[in-house]
Amino acid sequence: MISIPDAAAGHVYLVGAGPGDPALLTLRAAHLLKTADVILPDDLVSDEILSLASPTANIISVGKRCGQPRITQAGIHELLLEHASAGSSVIRLKSGDPLIFGRAGEEIAFLREHRIPFEIVSGITTAFAVAASLEATLTDRTRASKLILATAHHAAGKVALTPSWSGAFPEEATLVIYMPGRDFEALAADLIASGIAPGTPATAVSRASTSEEQVHVATLETLRSSDVGPAPVILLVGPDVDKDAVRAIAERRANLAAMAD
C-alpha cells in the first residue's frame, strides 16, 4: 500500500492536472484533490478532474476565457496568501505540468517572499500526452535529436507571433508549440521563413486527451486555420503522423468507449 500524505494546513501546492483526462493524473495530485481545503483551478482543468475534489473544498476558478482573465495574477497571489495564512491547504491547479508555460515562476517567487510553504507536483505536459495518443515519438533517433517546447503566447509588452531563435531553425529537431493562436497560415509562413521546410509534417491537436479531441494532420504549407479544431490547441511540427493511423486510433477509442458504456 502506497502512503501519500494529505494536504497540509497552511501549505500551497502547485499541481499539474495533466492534459485533461483524469486517468492521467498522478497519484499525488489525485490524493491532494481529495484532501485540500481550497482549489484554485485554471479554466482548462476539466470538470471530471474537479469532481475528484473533496465535497467540502472551496473551488475558486482563476482561469481565462477567450484570453481574458477573470482575475489578475496579483489577485491570484492574494488568494494564495489569504487562504494559506488562514490555515487552509491550497491547491493552485494548472493544466499540464505547472512548470511548462504555467506562470509558476511568478507564484513561486511570491510564495517565497511571503514565507508560505509550498510544494510543486508534476503533471503530464500536453506535448507528451499528445505524442502518446498519436503513437508518434518526439525524439526519433534517426531524425530528431532535439526537442523544442515553445509558445506563441507572450507576456504583455512582448509581442511575437511565433517562437524565435537566432539564425535558422535547428536541424533534426521536433518543435512543439503551445498556445499557437488561431492564425495558422501566418504561423506556418513564419516557421517556413525561419528555415523549416514547407513539406514538414504539422499536426494540430485540439482538446487533447478529452472525449472532444480533434486531430488535423497536414504539412506547414497546407496547414489551414479553418481545419483546426477549437482551443486549446497544441501544434507538433516534425514528427511524421500517419492519417490512417490517426483514424484507426480514433476508431479504437470509440469502440472502447462504447464497450465501457
Cell numbers placing 157: 509588452
Strands 38-41 and 90-94: parallel
Assign 3-class secondary structure to 84-113: HHCCCCEEEEECECCCCCCCHHHHHHHHHH
Query: Residue 214 is inside which H or E element, if any?
Result: strand 214-219
Q: For cell 500517419, name the residue.
A: 242
Cell numbers placing 115: 514565507
Strands 233-237 and 173-178: antiparallel
Residues with active-site annotation: 42, 64
CA dihedral 10, 15, 21, 23 (to 10 degrees): -70
**Cα distance between residue 256 and residue 202, in whole Å:** 28
